[in-house]
Structure 1
């Protein structure tokens, strides 16, 4: 369907995924250089199939949660729902585009011109509108409440047209005034987060292929960092090689700059600085990458800056972290309850488990996601749940004594299958740092 074309109630929405952009004329094609690889002898990721899978998952969860429609404003949520992308990082802190998706009916997308142009090429969007209303204070200023009311009336028109009298609406990050205005229009407004979490948790084969591509880009970055690791290089200079690999590989951003060396590896979660790395230092990082197709790679490794040989203490830190990741990965079985996983988790030696990583494991898709598995059921943030085939789980470990000189952070990314976990991250561990003594 052409961008902006209206849809009526008689439209057959089951054919929406088969919709194609209008064919080009020879004259139009003559001026276009397509942004794609010239490969016609190998199979590629079936991206339309991936988009259809995700949108169908979302619709299933909308119905399962008893909602009549959802309204999305978070750019990664819109990306998941439709595949469209427009200035993602900007829209993470300044609300701009938004998406209306009923349980049954047309997907309607509002955005600025670049987003509308991208969206017009996607079969997952039925109608594209240019009457975008400002939700952020930056664009609305002192008129924010006024524009929120106008936005609520805009959404109310769509809800009444496409939801058959339903009034229960899942809303995401539209802001206080917008949500209040929807309530004043007579709708029951609920948080859409559970719908998104339950939709995203089970990946399709195409999503795993996309994720593997991001992992390959991240591992390229790891190799570049390892190749440029030398006495005297600054942490942020070394970290720049991960960014270079990301951009050259068609990725999007790094969620953080978690890379530290020497004494800055303890405690963990210190970001890359201008510290010069010295011979003998441990260098530890967490890639936290959002790569091609917006899928995540969340892998941690630790190197040692040469020359020379690692100390026994460095070997112990590394081996204990490796033991934890290897042991806990095997607990990631389909049907395993979070409580059972916690009860069977790896327990570090006295003194080496006093600065645990904030979680034992967590989900991953388009960046970090539900669930989070903690180290103890007594933790006040603990919640119950169960692993399922199709989830991608990152298994974490940090080992460092309180007051210790160094620490080691390791993490692997694995796919839960009916036959158990498969580790997707392939970057090798450091043989010189592994010891059979610990």
Structure 2
């Protein structure tokens, strides 16, 4: 893809970017080249050690072994990545970490070499898969072999028979219980471990956000009349993929009337000048970290209408108000009591979350918007959490404005990790 796909040119042939503030997010070596990570290897190695240590520290409180099937948790534990999307719905690889013993990766057969050089893995074994896709009428036999293997390791090397598990089909859970293991919730253990970030993790996350914002700059530049929603969304995929990223969790880019109600997925709708384009990146980028950013702007970058300005200003007000509340030691209930109150006319179209955690994906905690807070969990904002502050503003018959920023909780408040400019309504 050459530069003409991301820049327009005046009659003299000179490149003209539509907003110099946003041009800065493209690769300074040229938009036709991928960004190159400046992260030294020592930062990644330090983050790997920290993450595995976080899991082991949580295991001390709950169990003698941890069985992981969720590919995001496996990536967190070992930095091991192999067919992550496929293994989200095909349980074909897993990890078993012993509190007082080795950390074992059970890898998809033939892919063991993908884990060379990963320091947290003590042993690699071939996975024993019992999914129906490959086992068919042999599921029962293969399930028994798998359960014998896992239970034998835990019984021989664990201090007790408490096994934490993040994701497991009912048949697997029953098989392990029948072999004398006591199963506890491994997803809670993993998410609580993941919720507190090290400085090295933040450095890795900053790079993912840098890549995401380069993709957003590409999206901004091609947001012209006649483009489809999918064409604009593809620019983010392109930048993420060529810069070493992973995937996009959603397809949340819409325009005009299709922005309301929210959660419609991008389509072949051809966008018209002046229509609002709104999106949520949900991007799993380089090093497996998430950049979850939302922006809204007009097609053709024309001045907003009076209604668009009203909605955009309300969304900014919500973001800035709630952002200013964040600090360590603030309980979710206290945040809710002080949070921005969404006007009644916007209530039917609200985004139910005011805040959520972010790491290698959207994660715990989730803090509901004030009208929905009666179903919120208890908890407290802690230093070194990364939280996303959300806003979705719309009313009957209007377009939606979607804004979101990603912040690090510091000793004194919140530091924004993203810097891509807001619009000037």
TM-score, structure 2 as length reference: 0.89
Contact 1:135/1:174, CA 8 A, preserved across alignment? no
Q: Which residue of 2 aligns with 1:236?
A: 230
**Counterpart secondary structure, 2:156:** helix
Q: How does 1:391-406 map to 2 (within 5 A)?
A: 391-401=385-395, 403-406=396-399
Q: Which residue of 2 aligns with 1:414?
A: 407
Q: How does 1:165-314 map to 2 (within 5 A)?
A: 166-306=160-300, 308-314=302-308
Q: Which residue of 2 aligns with 1:49?
A: 46
Q: Which residue of 2 aligns with 1:100?
A: 96
CA distance in 2, matches of 1:406, 1:54: 42
Q: Quick check: 1:153 aligned with 2:148? A: yes
**Counterpart secondary structure, 2:409:** strand
CA distance in 1, matches of 2:225, 2:206: 32
CA distance in 1, matches of 2:331, 2:301: 45
Q: Quick check: 1:61 aligned with 2:58? A: yes
CA deviation vs aligned residue, 1:261-303 (integer Å, no higher than 9, x gap):
0001111111111111101100000000000011000000001
**Counterpart secondary structure, 2:53:** helix
Go from structure 1 to structure 2 and tell me whether the alpha carbon gap of 1:303 and 1:145 turns closer, same or farther (over 3 Å shift). Answer: same
Moved more, 350-359 or 276-285: 350-359
CA distance in 2, matches of 1:269, 1:338: 26
Q: By how many angstroms is 1:112 displaced? A: 2.0
**Counterpart secondary structure, 1:353:** helix
CA distance in 2, matches of 1:283, 1:308: 12
Question: In structure 1, which of residues 314, 329, 334 is the aligned counterpart of residue 328 of structure 2?
Answer: 334
Q: How does 1:308-327 map to 2 (within 5 A)?
A: 308-327=302-321
Question: In structure 2, which of residues 145, 157, 165 is the aligned counterpart of residue 162 of structure 1?
Answer: 157
TM-score, structure 1 as length reference: 0.86
CA RMSD for the aligned pairs?
1.8
Residue correspondences, number: 391
CA distance in 2, matches of 1:287, 1:400: 19
Q: By how many angstroms is 1:237 displaced? A: 0.8
Q: Quick check: 1:140 aligned with 2:135? A: yes
Contact 1:339/1:377, CA 8 A, preserved across alignment? no
**Counterpart secondary structure, 1:396:** strand
Unmatched 5+ residue regions in structure 2? 1-35
CA deviation vs aligned residue, 1:163-214 (integer Å, no higher than 9, x gap):
13x1111112231111111111111112211110110000011111111111
Q: By how many angstroms is 1:156 displaced? A: 1.6
Contact 2:167/2:187, CA 8 A, preserved across alignment? no
Q: By how many angstroms is 1:394 displaced? A: 0.3
Q: By how many angstroms is 1:108 displaced? A: 1.0
Between Structure 1 and Structure 2, which shows a larger proportion of helix residues? Answer: 2
Question: In structure 1, which of residues 340, 347, 371 is the aligned counterpart of residue 365 of structure 2?
Answer: 371
Q: Which residue of 2 aligns with 1:22?
A: none
Q: Which residue of 2 aligns with 1:4?
A: none
Unmatched 5+ residue regions in structure 1? 1-36, 434-438
CA deviation vs aligned residue, 1:204-225 (integer Å, no higher than 9, x gap):
1111111111101110111001
Contact 1:45/1:206, CA 8 A, preserved across alignment? no
Q: By how many angstroms is 1:138 displaced? A: 1.0
Q: How does 1:31-42 map to 2 (within 5 A)?
A: none
Q: Which residue of 1 aligns with 2:71?
A: 75
